[in-house]
Structure 1
Amino acid sequence: MNKLLVALGLAATVALVGCNKKESPETGATTGEHLENAADQAGHDIADASHNAANATATAVDNTAEATAEAADNAAAHAEDAAHNAKEAAKDATAAVAGSVEQGAANVKEKAQQ
């Protein structure tokens, strides 16, 4: 966009300078030829700016895709870790409950024998 504005500013400057001169420019080109050249240059600048914008967009899309894939991998790894931790916690809880039941049964048996 900046290149477009520069090109249009250049074209306007050339047009104003060309209109104010009474003699031919040093190059021997007419004002119309200067405007045509400025328009051609503006067209090239616009094409370059569009190409650069397309490349920047493609790069951003690639980076976003890579970041998304990495985030998905990290989420999967964390989910796997969480599942493993939940499994270990369930084992520990089961062992604790079994131990409490055995202790309670032992206490009941001991009291019954008294």
Structure 2
Amino acid sequence: MGKRDDLIARYADDLKNKCGMTPDMDLLTKVTIGCGPAIYNADAATVASSQADELETVKNNFLIKKLGLSDSPDLMVAIKSVLETYGMSERNKYRAVVYYMLTKHFKKESIYG
């Protein structure tokens, strides 16, 4: 297995054990690929949930630009809800896992179709 496959397995494990979800492996793989080289950079691979500017980046670059959602207070509510599910005390919140859960939350799986 390659490095990306190892990371996808780690993300699937987080979804199962930390978020209580059974991952759709096909979608998880596509979301992970969509994150690009960021998944290999220790800082970029995670979401700093305590930093407001990081949450704005998730909102603007992923929810609005990638998923095509309109800006509204609902977007930040969804981000915070996903982070709660992941566990606020969880130190490493992987970007691919957060994006996967947001994609599911907004039922935008077709973006990765």
**Same structural fold, with TM-score higher than 0.5 when normalized by the shorter chain:** no
| TM-score class normalised by the smaller sequence | under 0.3
Greater relative contact order, per chain length (Cα 8 Å cut-off, separation 6+) = 2
TM-score by length of 1: 0.23
| Max Rg structure | 1
TM-score by length of 2: 0.23
